[in-house]
Structure 1
Amino acid sequence: MNRILHQFVFLIDQLCQSDPDRPVGDLEAFSPNDLREIRALHPENIPTVETSFPAIFAEQVAWSPEALAVDSQHGVKLTYAELDRLSDGLARYLISLGLMPQDEVGWCSEKTPWTVVGIVAIAKAGGIFIFLDPSHPPSRRAEILQTGQPRLILAISPHDGLFQYPDAQPVDAVVLVDERLLTELRDQKHGALPDSLQADSGLYNQFTSGSTGTPKGCLVEHSNFLSSAAIYTHRTNLTQQSRVFQVSSYNFDSSILEMLASLTVGACVCVPREEARSDDDLPGTMNDLAVTWALITPSLARTLLATSVPSLQDLVLAGEALSEVDVKTWVASVRLYNGYGPAECAILTTVNRIVNTDVAPNELGKPLASANWIVCPQDPNKLAPLGAAGELLIEGSIVGRGYLNDSHRTKHRVYLNGDLVRYTRDGSISYVGRKDLQVKIRGQRVELGEIEHRLWTHSLVNNAVVVYPTSGRCSRQLVGFLALTRVTSFAQNPDDVTLLPNHVLPTITEDVRIIENSLSSQLPSYMIPTVWVPLSSIPLLVSGKSNRRILLNWLAGLDDPTFTTIVNLGQNESTETRPWSQTEETLRTIWGKVLNLPFERIHLNSSFLRLGGNSISAMQVAGLARKANIDFPLTAVLGSSSLKELATSARAIPKISRAKAPSLFKRHPMLRARFQHQQRGNERHSQMITNEVFTSYRLQTHQSSALEDTCSALEASRVSLDIYSGPLLAADLVETETDQVLFFTIHHLVTDMVSWNVILGDLEDFLLRGEFRYAEEESYPFQDWCKLQEQHAQMLDPASVLPFSVPPADFDYWQMEHETNLLQDLVGEEIALDKDQTAKLLDTNDRVDVQDFIIAALLRSFVMVFDDRCPPTVFRYDHGRRPEGQEIDLSRTVGWLTTVTPVTVPVKAHDSLSTIVHRTHAVRSSIPGSGWPYFISRYLTEDGAAAFQSHNRIEVLLNYLGSGLHGQATTPVKTRLERSQAFSDSTEGGLGARGQPVRRFALFGVQVQLLDSRLIIQFEYNRRMKHQDGILRWISALRGLLDEDILLE
C-alpha cells in the first residue's frame, strides 16, 4: 500500500507541475521511491571472472588429477589428468592444421564422451566452438556454416555430404576424432599452445532460431561463461562430488553447462549413449551412471518418477515454464531449482531454490553476476514501476559479446530479451509471459517469425501465420494457418476465421504436403507445424497485421469435427487399403498408447508429429518399440512422414540370442561362473558356478552406415564384463546397409582360444541346423579338470618338472625394476609374411615346430642388437589340453586351460639361426608333459610356488595361436570372421585400453598367428622402457631374419 501511495503522490505532483498540453503518456510512472528500492536490489559492483576456461581447468587438473572427469555408457572413463593430456594433444594438432586464435571450429556428432575432449581442446587452442547437429536438414547446417564460417570441422563419423554446400564457405579440413587419433596425438608435440587466453576471447557460438528467417549465433566469451558459472554452480550445489548427467542435446546451451561448468568445479560429466536418451528406461540410464545432478526440461522430468532415480540429489528444471505439479513431484525428493536464462547471457541468468510447494513455479529468483532491470515494454529507455510487468533487460558480465555478423544487435552490451516479468516483494523476478513471437518448445527457443518467413517465400503460399497455443485441443503444438495462392479468396468477415469449404479441402491436400516437405528440408523437426489450417484468408487488424488473437481464440474453441478435419488434412488415408503388416500394427498400438489416441485415429499415412507427438513422446515410442523387438533411431520417429514410412525403416531385433542362450550356457557351465575375493585385501579369488543365464551375458544391437563407426559401442561391451555379478560374455549385433555382424567379447577367466572355437562352433550349429552337433556329455567338465589337476599336482616334485634352471629376468636393464607395467602404455609393431614366404617357412620346417623357429629367431635377433647382456628366457603359452598320463578328452572343454612354460636357450653371438633352432627344439622337448606338470606344480603347490617364485617376472612371453579360429573348414560364420578381422583389429586393446590400470604379464609380448595363409607376428612392449631405439632395431633384425627365408639343414 505504501508503494501505491508513493506512486500516486508522484503522479499527482507531475500533473500539477507539468504543461497542461503534456500527453498523459509522457508522465513518468517510475517514482523516486521505486528507484531507491531497485538500487538496493542491485549490487554496486557486479562480479566478473577475469580469466579463461583453460586456466580454470588447469587448476582443477592440478588440484585433483586422478579424479574422474568423464564417465560414460560408451565404456570411456577419463580422469582429469587423462582429459588434460588428450585435449592438449588434439589442441596442438588443430594449431598445426592452421587454427588461429578466435577461429571458429565446428563439432558435429551424436552423444559421445569425446565431445568433452573436443571442446576442451578447441578452447585450449584459442578457438571458438560451434555445435552442428547431424540430424538437422542440410540447408539448416549450411546456414550455420555460412554464418559461423568455421575453419575446421571435428566429427566422430564421416556424415556423407555434411559439410559440402555451394553457399557455405569451404572449411580447411574435416577431422574425424576417435580414440585412436586422440591416443596418437596425446604424446606428440605438433605445436605450442597459447601461453594464455584473454578473458574477453570467444569461447563458443550458440545458434538459435532467428526472427528474420536465419539462425542467429550468440557469441559467448570466456569471462561471460565463467562469471555466470561461478555463481550458478554454487547456487545449485554443483560441486566436486557431483556426477552430472550430460543428457541435453548439443542444440541446447545447457549441454555446455553440463560439460564445461562441471569441469570448472571438478565434477564428473556422465555421458549416456545416444539411444539411452530415447529409451523409456531413462531412470535406468541415470542409475547406471549414478547421476547426482541433472538439468532437464520440465517436459522430460514429467516422464520420470522421483522414486525411480534414488541417486539424484540436485535437479535444475529449465528451458520451459514450471507447473505446480512439477514442484509437488520433486520438491520432497531432491534439492529443486528453477533455472532461467537466454543463450545470449551465458546459459543461466537466475536460479531459484524451491524449498516447498508454497514457492510459485513462475518465480525465477535473483540475478547471477548481472543486474536485471525491468523496463517499459513500449520504451526500453524507461524503467517500469516497481511491481508492474515489464520487459527484462539484463546487464553485466554474463551478457555475451553479441550476435555473430550482426553489428546492429552486437553494439548493445545489455540484452533486452523479450520476456515480460515483474519484481516480487523480496526482489526476485517473476515470469509473466512473452512480448514478441518467441516461444519455447520443449526447451528449444523458437522464433515464430522465422517459420513464417520460410512460408512466405514459398510460391504456393499467399500469407501465413504460425501460433503456439497454450490451451485447447492444439495446446503445445505449432499450428500453421495458410492462405494459398491458387485458392480463390472466399468472402468473409475480417473478424472471422473461415476454414476452406469441405469440397475445396481435397484439392489443396497435395499443396499442404508440398509446403510441409519444403519446410522440413529447411528447419529442424521441432520447428515444423504439426497442424495445418487452410483459410480463405488470414484475418487482419486495422493496422494490416495478422490478427493472432482471433486465430488463437478460434483454436481454443474448436469442435471435434473441425479438429479431426484439420488434423487429418494432407494424410490421404483412403489411398491405403492393403492389410497392415505386423510391424505397422505394433507401431499403431504403441502410438495410440503414448499419444492417448483411439486406434481409428491412426492410419498408415498418419504423421506422428501431426497427431501431437514431440521429442519426449518419441523417446517413449522408441523405448516401447525396442521392448517389442522393433528397433529404429529416435530421429526416425520424428523424421518419418508417416507410420508406414517409420515401419519401413524399422528393423526387427533378432531373438536368436534369447532363444539359444539358455541351451548354450547350460552346455558350458564356465559361461555362468562368478568370482569373489577370498578375503578382504587379498587378490586371491574363489570361483562358483551359478544357474543364472540371463545375467551372464549382455546383448546390444546397433545400426550404422559403416562397421567401423561402432567401435565406441563395442568397447562399451568390453568394459561391461563383471566377474563378480555378470555378465562374463557380451554380444553386439551390428547391422549396416549391406551386412550383419555379431561381435563377441568374453572374459579371459572363462575361456581360451580353443574354447572360442567350441563356443562359436556350437552357436553356428544351432543357427544353421537348429541343434547341437555334439552331445553335452562329450565336453569334459572344467570343474572336474580343476580338481584332477590339484590332486595330480600334490604328487609332483618341483625338481622333476623342469630339467633346467631359469635365470632371473633383468627388469633393471629396461629401467622397469620399480615401474608398473601397464596395458595402457602398450605400443607395438607388426611383422607380416606374405603367402609365399609363409608357405616356404612351413613346408621346409616339417621336422621342426614353427614355435621353435620363432623362439630361435627372437633370440638370434636379440643378441644381434643387445650384445651387452645374455638373451632372456622366453616363456610360451600352450593350450594345456594334453595332460601327461591322463586318459581324458579336453578338446571340447570350455574354460581357461592355458599353461605358461619357460624356455631357456643358451645363445652366443656367433651361433647361427639353424643352430639355435635345433637347440631350442631340444630344450623344449626335454620339458615333461609340454610344461603342464611344471605349470600346476608352480601354481597349485606351496613347494612349487617357492621354487619358481622368480618366474613371476617375465621379460618375453610368446603366444603362438596357429590358425586359431581359422583352422577349421570354411563356414558362413568363420568366413565372416575372416572378413571382419581388420575391423576386429581396430578394437584391440582389451579392458585396459581405456586407461584402466591393468598390469601386463610380461615386458615383451609376441603373438604369432596364421591369418589367411599369412604368418602375422605382433610384437608389443612398454613405451616407457629404456632402449626404445634398440627395441625397434631388434624388431627390424627379426624381420630381416624372417625375410631371408633361411632353409634349415
Structure 2
Amino acid sequence: MPGEWNRTDSAFPAHRGLHELVEDRVADSGDRTAVVFGDERVTYAELDARANGLAHRLVGAGVGLDDVVALCVDRSVDMVVALLAILKAGGAYLPLDPELPASRIAQVTAVARARVCVVADGYRALLPGDVVAVPPSAPPRTDRPDRRACGANLVSVYFTSGSTGVPKGAASSHEGWVNRMTWSQRRHRLRPGETVLHKTTLTFDDAALELFWPLTVGARVAVLEPGAHRDPRAILDALEAHRGVYLQVVPSMLTMLLDELEQRGGRDLSALRDVTSSGEALPPETTGRFLALLPSVRLHNTWGATEVSIDSTNHTCGPADAADTGAVSVGVPFDNNRVHVLDADFREVEVGEVGDLHIAGVGLARGYLGDPAATARAFLPNPFSPGERLYRTGDRGYRRPDGTVKFVGRDDHQVKIRGMRVELGEVESALRRSPLVRDAVVVLRRLGEDDHLVAYATPAGPDRAPEPEQLRDLVADRLPKHMVPSVVVVLDALPLNPNGKVDRAKLPTPARPRGGDAEYVPCEGPAQEAIAGMWRDLLGLDRVGARDDFFDLGGHSLMATRFSARVRQRFDVDLPVRTVFSTPTVAELAEEVERLLVAKIDDMSEDEVRALLGGAG
C-alpha cells in the first residue's frame, strides 16, 4: 500500500530554470499586468526589461552560475525585479530580513559565501564590509544575459535555525521549485489575469509560491505594502480590492482573519477560490469556522519543509476534518514527492502506527551550504530507491487507511513559533556564550494566550549571576526576534534525571515578570487601565504600567493583531495593527484610542456616548 500512495510521478519541465517560465509569459502576455504595488503597475514586458538590466549589472559584479546573491529590500516591485534578476544572472537568492541583527546578517552571508547583495539604500549599513552592495534598479534592457541556469542549478538559499548554534542554509534547485509551481497550477488552475496576493515575508519560503507561481502562468501578483501582512483587515481589504483568487496563511493568521470576518462581515470575497494553510499544525476548530464562514472557498492543508521545495503534501479539508482529533491531516504526497513513515530501522510501519516522517522526490535540496555534517545527518540514502536520498524531517506521524498522513509532533528539540522553525539548541548556544552563564536550556511554554520561548540559565559562579533582561538583550543582539525568549529564569542548577540529562518536565513554570526596561508607572484613566488589562490577559502578566512597551513585554505581530481586535470590541474604534508598532506603550496607545473616541463621539448622540463610555470603563 505505501507504494501505491507514493506513485506520484508526473511530467514537468525539469530541465528549465524557474525564471525561464516567467520569460515564456513575456512572449504571450507582454502587455498584461504582472505586478501591482499601490499605484504602481508593471507589465510582463516591463518586469522582464527591468530584471534584465539588473541581471546584467549583477553579472558585471561577478555573479555566475550557482553563486549566492543576498537580497535585502522591502516588499515592493523592486523586490520582484531583483528576484528575477538574480535568477537571470545565474545566481541563487538569499533573502535577508532588515530587522535581523547585523551580526546575524554577517553570519549567514559568510556561511553562504554571498559576495554580492542587492540592497535598498537604507539597509546598506547592515552589510559586512566585504559584501558588494548593488542597488535594486538599473536601466532596463531587452537583451537577457547569456548565462542560463537550468534545473540542476541553485535557485535559493533559505536559512533555518540550527541545533548546534549555527544557522543552516538549505540550498534548493530550480528543478524542485519548478515542480512545485507546476503542481500548484495543476491543482488550482490559476487563469491569466487573475490575482494572487503576495503577503508573506520573503524570508519565509512560502513567499516564493505567491510570487513565482502566478508569474509563470500570466497571472497578476498584488504586492501588499510592508507591515500590512501583520494586519488581517489589511489582508482582507487587499483581497477585496484586487479580487484575489488565492491566499496562503499560517493557521494563527487564519484564525485572525476568521475573527475579522465574524466581527465585521460584509466582505466581498466572491473571487476567492482557494486558501492554503501551511507552516503550522491546522486545528480542527479553525477548519470548522472556515467552512462555516466561507463555504464556497476550498481550504487546503499542506506540509513539507524548506529542504524539500516548500511543501510535499496536500489535503483539501471537508466537514469531517472539523470533527477530527489532533491536527488536521496533511494529506498525501503530491506530484513527484514521496512520504515514508519509518521505524528506527528504516522500515515502513503499519497503517495507524506512529513513525518518523521522511520525504523523497525531486524537491530535495542539495543540502546545507558549507555544512556537510548537517547535510549527512538530514539527507540519507533512500533504501527504497537506490541512488536517491531521503530527507529526515524530524516530524512524527502515521498513515490512515486512506493513505493520508497525520502529524503528531516532533522527535527533537525543534519547535515552531508563528510558522517559523526554531532549534532550541541555537537559542541555548547563544545564551551559553555569555561569560556569566554556565549552562542554559530553552523550552516552549504556554504563557497567557500564546506559546512563548522560556529560557533557564545557571550562573557561571556564585558572584556572577546574570540579570534576566541582560541575557535577553544578549540573545536579541545575535538572533532574529522570534528566537528571543520572552522570559529568562536564572536557577542555581538545572534539574537532572537519573541519566544526568536535563529533566525538562521538572523545570519550574515561570511567573511572568513585568519585563521591559521602563520604570513602573501606574495607569491613569479608563483608556490606559483598559489597555493594561488587555495586555495582562494576552501576555500573562500580573502588572502593566503606563510606560511599558508591548514588544518588550513579549508581544509579537499576531498578538498585536489580537490586541487591536480587543480594542475594537471594547471601544468600537479601529486601531490599526501598524499603530501598535509605531506607538507601542500603554500611554501612547491610550492617547490614540482617546483621539479615535473623540472623533467617534462627535458623530454620536448623547445616549450613544453614555453607552459607549459605560462599556469602556
Tell whether 2:30 aligns with 1:65: yes
Q: Which residue of 2 aligns with 1:466?
A: 442
Tell whether 2:312 aligns with 1:371: no
Alpha-carbon distance in structure 2 between the residues aligned to 1:320 and 1:242: 28
Q: Which residue of 2 aligns with 1:568?
A: 513
Task: Flag the 1:334–1:588 CA change in 2: closer, same or farther, 3 A.
Answer: farther
Task: Flag the 1:52–1:588 CA change in 2: closer, same or farther, 3 A.
Answer: farther
**Are the aligned partners of 2:251 and 2:282 in contact in 1 as well (CA < 8 Å)?**
yes
Of 133, 139, 143 in structure 2, the residue corresponding to residue 174 of structure 1 is 133
| 1:143 positional shift | 0.9
Tell whether 2:569 aligns with 1:602: no
Alpha-carbon distance in structure 2 between the residues aligned to 1:409 and 1:400: 13
2:408 aligned counterpart, secondary structure: strand
**Are the aligned partners of 1:201 and 1:222 in contact in 2 as well (CA < 8 Å)?**
yes
Task: Flag the 1:592–1:333 CA change in 2: closer, same or farther, 3 A.
Answer: farther
Number of positions where the alignment pairs a residue of Structure 1 with one of Structure 2: 567
Q: Which residue of 2 aligns with 1:451?
A: 427
Q: Which residue of 2 aligns with 1:348?
A: 311
Q: Which runs of 5+ in 2 are unaligned?
A: 380-388, 600-617
Task: Flag the 1:69–1:146 CA change in 2: closer, same or farther, 3 A.
Answer: same
Tell whether 2:365 aligns with 1:400: yes
Residue identity in the other structure for 2:501: K
**Are the aligned partners of 2:171 and 2:307 in contact in 1 as well (CA < 8 Å)?**
yes
Residue identity in the other structure for 1:450: E
Tell whether 2:244 aligns with 1:244: no
Alpha-carbon distance in structure 2 between the residues aligned to 1:651 and 1:104: 47
**Are the aligned partners of 2:321 and 2:328 in contact in 1 as well (CA < 8 Å)?**
no
Tell whether 2:108 aligns with 1:108: no
Task: Flag the 1:609–1:530 CA change in 2: closer, same or farther, 3 A.
Answer: farther
Alpha-carbon distance in structure 2 between the residues aligned to 1:397 and 1:318: 20
Alpha-carbon distance in structure 1 between the residues aligned to 2:173 and 2:241: 35
Alpha-carbon distance in structure 2 between the residues aligned to 1:610 and 1:477: 13
Q: Which runs of 5+ in 1 are unaligned?
A: 1-36, 489-506, 556-562, 660-1049
Q: Which residue of 2 aligns with 1:733?
A: none
Q: Which residue of 1 aligns with 2:604?
A: none
| 1:610 positional shift | 6.7
**Are the aligned partners of 1:321 and 1:362 in contact in 2 as well (CA < 8 Å)?**
yes
Task: Flag the 1:250–1:546 CA change in 2: closer, same or farther, 3 A.
Answer: same
**Are the aligned partners of 1:64 and 1:266 in contact in 2 as well (CA < 8 Å)?**
yes
| 1:344 positional shift | 0.4
Q: Which residue of 1 aligns with 2:162?
A: 210
Task: Flag the 1:50–1:203 CA change in 2: closer, same or farther, 3 A.
Answer: same
Alpha-carbon distance in structure 1 between the residues aligned to 2:178 and 2:532: 44
| 1:623 positional shift | 9.0
Alpha-carbon distance in structure 1 between the residues aligned to 2:124 and 2:64: 27
1:932-969 Cα shifts (integer Å, max 9, x gaps): xxxxxxxxxxxxxxxxxxxxxxxxxxxxxxxxxxxxxx
1:478 aligned counterpart, secondary structure: strand
1:991-1025 Cα shifts (integer Å, max 9, x gaps): xxxxxxxxxxxxxxxxxxxxxxxxxxxxxxxxxxx
1:94-149 Cα shifts (integer Å, max 9, x gaps): 21222222211111022212211110111111111110111111111111111112
2:40 aligned counterpart, secondary structure: coil
Alpha-carbon distance in structure 2 between the residues aligned to 1:304 and 1:154: 33
**Are the aligned partners of 1:464 and 1:480 in contact in 2 as well (CA < 8 Å)?**
yes
Alpha-carbon distance in structure 1 between the residues aligned to 2:124 and 2:532: 32
Q: Which residue of 2 aligns with 1:134?
A: 98
Of 457, 478, 497 in structure 2, the residue corresponding to residue 541 of structure 1 is 497
1:529 aligned counterpart, secondary structure: coil
Q: Which residue of 1 aligns with 2:251?
A: 298
Tell whether 2:140 aligns with 1:186: yes
| 1:401 positional shift | 1.0
Q: Which residue of 1 aligns with 2:559?
A: 617
| 1:88 positional shift | 1.5
Q: Which residue of 1 aligns with 2:453?
A: 478
TM-score, scaled to structure 2: 0.83
Identity %: 28
Alpha-carbon distance in structure 1 between the residues aligned to 2:196 and 2:186: 14
| 1:292 positional shift | 1.9
Q: Which residue of 1 aligns with 2:607?
A: none
| 1:591 positional shift | 5.6
Of 458, 467, 486 in structure 2, the residue corresponding to residue 511 of structure 1 is 467
Of 223, 230, 233 in structure 2, the residue corresponding to residue 271 of structure 1 is 223
Of 182, 195, 200 in structure 2, the residue corresponding to residue 230 of structure 1 is 182
Which is higher, the Rg of structure 1 or of structure 2? 1
Alpha-carbon distance in structure 1 between the residues aligned to 2:462 and 2:582: 34
Alpha-carbon distance in structure 1 between the residues aligned to 2:277 and 2:448: 26
Residue identity in the other structure for 1:228: R
1:36-78 Cα shifts (integer Å, max 9, x gaps): x2222222846552211122112222232222211122x2211
| 1:599 positional shift | 9.8
**Are the aligned partners of 1:218 and 1:402 in contact in 2 as well (CA < 8 Å)?**
yes
Alpha-carbon distance in structure 2 between the residues aligned to 1:97 and 1:633: 40
2:252 aligned counterpart, secondary structure: helix
Task: Flag the 1:610–1:157 CA change in 2: closer, same or farther, 3 A.
Answer: closer
Residue identity in the other structure for 1:347: I
2:458 aligned counterpart, secondary structure: strand
Alpha-carbon distance in structure 1 between the residues aligned to 2:95 and 2:165: 19
1:563-609 Cα shifts (integer Å, max 9, x gaps): 6xx21265587x545x7699xx9676446436646997212564535
Residue identity in the other structure for 1:567: R
| 1:433 positional shift | 0.7
Alpha-carbon distance in structure 2 between the residues aligned to 1:427 and 1:629: 46
**Are the aligned partners of 2:89 and 2:147 in contact in 1 as well (CA < 8 Å)?**
no
Task: Flag the 1:213–1:62 CA change in 2: closer, same or farther, 3 A.
Answer: same
Of 12, 16, 19 in structure 2, the residue corresponding to residue 54 of structure 1 is 19
Task: Flag the 1:341–1:477 CA change in 2: closer, same or farther, 3 A.
Answer: same
Which structure ranks higher in relative contact order (CA pairs < 8 Å, sequence separation ≥ 6)?
Answer: 2
Tell whether 2:149 aligns with 1:197: yes
Alpha-carbon distance in structure 2 between the residues aligned to 1:239 and 1:399: 29
Residue identity in the other structure for 2:471: I
- Equivalences for residues 793-872 of structure 1 within 5 A: none
Residue identity in the other structure for 1:116: V
| 1:630 positional shift | 9.7
1:63 aligned counterpart, secondary structure: helix
1:294 aligned counterpart, secondary structure: strand
**Are the aligned partners of 1:571 and 1:606 in contact in 2 as well (CA < 8 Å)?**
yes
| 1:467 positional shift | 0.9
Alpha-carbon distance in structure 2 between the residues aligned to 1:188 and 1:421: 50
Alpha-carbon distance in structure 1 between the residues aligned to 2:475 and 2:83: 31
Q: Which residue of 2 aligns with 1:327?
A: 287
**Are the aligned partners of 1:209 and 1:446 in contact in 2 as well (CA < 8 Å)?**
yes
Residue identity in the other structure for 2:512: V
**Are the aligned partners of 2:301 and 2:316 in contact in 1 as well (CA < 8 Å)?**
yes
Alpha-carbon distance in structure 1 between the residues aligned to 2:48 and 2:214: 15
| 1:312 positional shift | 2.6
